[in-house]
């Protein structure tokens, strides 16, 4: 009886392994190259140092601080403008923030607040040419008005007819 010659892995389907080669040897497909092969330093060679990490420079920190300050200022301006005179409506209470007649700095406040000084009787949109014209418009809208406040030039012109707020 004769034995057949060795043929490699009898379970390999259609793959013939050449005689004397280990399928698990280095450099074969599916296996990474080992030390001494291209891409790897030879055994015992010094390992190159890690690249130093990039430090954040002063200019970068300064730019971040500037952006944060500008965003904070924009948010503050938005919040403070929500209670300006241009947001007033009939029935709102107002507070005068300045003693100047040219710029009284009126702002909307809660009527239950101790800051409430005036009540808005009417709000009329549009530009007005004189105080006489403004008084005439308030007379037509609210007979018992005491003060006239006009604002123009900020994109929205309007007139407020006010009276003292009685608590």
Structure tokens at 26: 């280095």
Number of neighbours of residue 160 by Cβ within 10 angstroms? 26
- For 46-57, what is each residue's pLDDT tens digit? 877 888 888 888
| Three-state SS at 133 | helix
- Mean pLDDT along residues 76-93: 73
Structure tokens at 126: 């549009």
DSSP secondary structure letter of residue 28: S
C-alpha distances (whole Å) from 6 to each of 3, 20, 142 are: 9, 11, 114
What pLDDT score does 52 carry?
A: 81
- For 16-58, what is each residue's pLDDT tens digit? 555 555 555 555 555 555 555 566 667 777 877 888 888 888 8
d(CA 110, CA 93): 6
d(CA 156, CA 129): 14
Give rounded-to-5 percent helix, strand, coil for the chain.
25, 15, 60
- For 114-139, what is each residue's pLDDT tens digit? 888 999 998 888 776 566 677 788 88
Three-state SS sequence of 94-120: EEECCCCCCCCCEEEECCCCCCCCEEE
Residue 14 pLDDT > 70: no
Residue 1 pLDDT > 60: no
Length of the chain: 167
For the chain, the first-to-last Cα distance in angstroms comes to 123
Prediction pTM value: 0.48
What pLDDT score does 147 carry?
A: 87
Residue 109 pLDDT > 60: yes
What pLDDT score does 85 carry?
A: 75
What pLDDT score does 15 carry?
A: 54
d(CA 94, CA 74): 24
């Amino acid at each position: 009886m004769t034995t057949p010659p060795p043929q490699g892995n009898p379970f390999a389907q259609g793959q013939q392994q050449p005689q004397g080669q280990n399928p698990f040897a280095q450099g074969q497909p599916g296996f990474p190259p080992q030390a001494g092969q291209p891409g790897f330093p030879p055994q015992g060679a010094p390992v190159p140092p890690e690249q130093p990490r990039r430090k954040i420079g002063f200019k970068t920190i300064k730019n971040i601080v500037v952006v944060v300050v500008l965003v904070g200022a924009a948010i503050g301006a938005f919040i403070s403008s929500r209670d300006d005179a241009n947001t007033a409506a009939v029935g709102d209470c107002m507070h005068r923030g300045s003693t100047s007649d040219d710029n009284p700095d009126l702002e909307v406040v809660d009527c239950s607040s101790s800051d409430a000084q005036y009540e808005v009787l009417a709000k009329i949109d549009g530009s007005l040419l004189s105080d006489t014209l403004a008084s005439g418009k308030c007379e037509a809208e609210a007979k018992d008005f005491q003060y006239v406040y006009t604002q123009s030039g900020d994109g929205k012109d309007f007139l407020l007819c006010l009276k003292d707020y009685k608590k």
